[in-house]
Amino acid sequence: MSLQAADAVREVDEEVTLLAGAFNRMPFRLPAGFIRELFESGAMEKVDYIAFHPYDTNPARVVRLYEQFRKVVDEYGYGDKIWITEMGFPTGGWYPSRISLKKFPEAVVKTYAHLAYAGAMNLLWYQLYDPEIRTRTGMRKSEDYFGLIRSASDPTSKGSEAFRLCALYMPNTTCYALTRKQDGIPGSIQAFWFKGEENSSLVLWKDGIGKKRLNIQLPGTGHKRLDIVTGSEVSIPAEIRIRVGRQPVFITWEGAEEDRPSFSRN
């Protein structure tokens, strides 16, 4: 956005939020030099936030790319002012970030959890529906397969229930990464506690193959385990033994207790 355009917009609306970008990897690495030149030229001095599209081949690489970007823009005071205005994975086509339909829901949850913990703001998925008529080309185009739902006429969920759970339980919370040292979490397990004022949630999964059994003691009341594929929920006791594998376990409860969930393997 030019400085003149920023001034013109603010003349019309003094309370407007100005967003600049959107930056992305181009094509194999972050264009750090170009981003620094924009800031150092003064082109970004009148914007409130900056937009970033952290597309990569899996959730772990997405968050690494985000952290690289945050490190660069933090030099100019924007490390905590990043909006994710696009992110996602195609379930078809030729892009190297393509993932299977079976793994798509877990990719949605892991990406949201990682980016929320990293401090990203306003996480927007690209896109809601796959198009009705896919591009007719010699090679299938990955742009036709980013939807959370198959199409408007075929509302079969690809990952919409996973997205719904993230959108429902992760915003307006404080996200904590639970650790082996403080919480007794095995090193192969990723665990994120989303603490809200009235409701909290726990998302955890195991990296690599196989599963681990964990005993979990949850604070609060009204504990539920949610299925990231179907969106269904079942009530569970505050003290439960579960098997944790590659697909994220999603648990919610009521109450704003300061107590952290506790874990043991015995």
What residues are paired with 204 via a beta bridge?
A: 191, 249
Q: Are strands 199-206 and 233-235 parallel, antiparallel or unpaired?
A: unpaired
| pLDDT grade for 138, boundaries at 50, 70 and 90 | very low
Q: Are 85 and 19 in contact (CB under 8 A)?
A: yes
pLDDT band at 70 (very low <50, low <70, confident <90, very high): very high
34 pLDDT higher than 60: yes
pLDDT of residue 172: 92
Cis status, amide bond into 22, omega within 30 of 0: yes
Give the tens place of pLDDT for each residue, 73-127. 999 999 999 999 999 999 999 999 999 999 999 999 999 999 999 999 899 999 9
pLDDT the model gives residue 107: 97
Q: Looking at residue 90, what is its pLDDT?
A: 96
Would you place residue 130 in the very low, low, confident or very high pLDDT band (cuts 50, 70, 90)?
Answer: very high
Of 74, 77, 170, which Cα lies nearest the Cα of 121? 170
Residue 179 DSSP label = -
pLDDT digits (tens, 9 = 90+) for 173-213: 999 999 888 888 888 899 999 999 889 999 999 998 889 99
| pLDDT over 90 percentage in the chain | 74
Question: Token match 């990296």: residue?
Answer: 207
On the question of pLDDT at 27 being above 80, the answer is no
pLDDT at 228 over 60: yes
Return the minimum-mean-pLDDT range out of 52-56, 132-136, 226-230: 132-136
Cα→Cα distances 246→1, 2, 101, 120, 166, Å: 42, 46, 15, 24, 17
* pLDDT above 80 for 257: no
Q: Quick check: pTM over 0.75?
A: yes
Q: So what's the pLDDT on residue 29?
A: 85
Residue recorded with tokens 């300061």: 258
* Mean pLDDT, the chain, whole residue set: 91
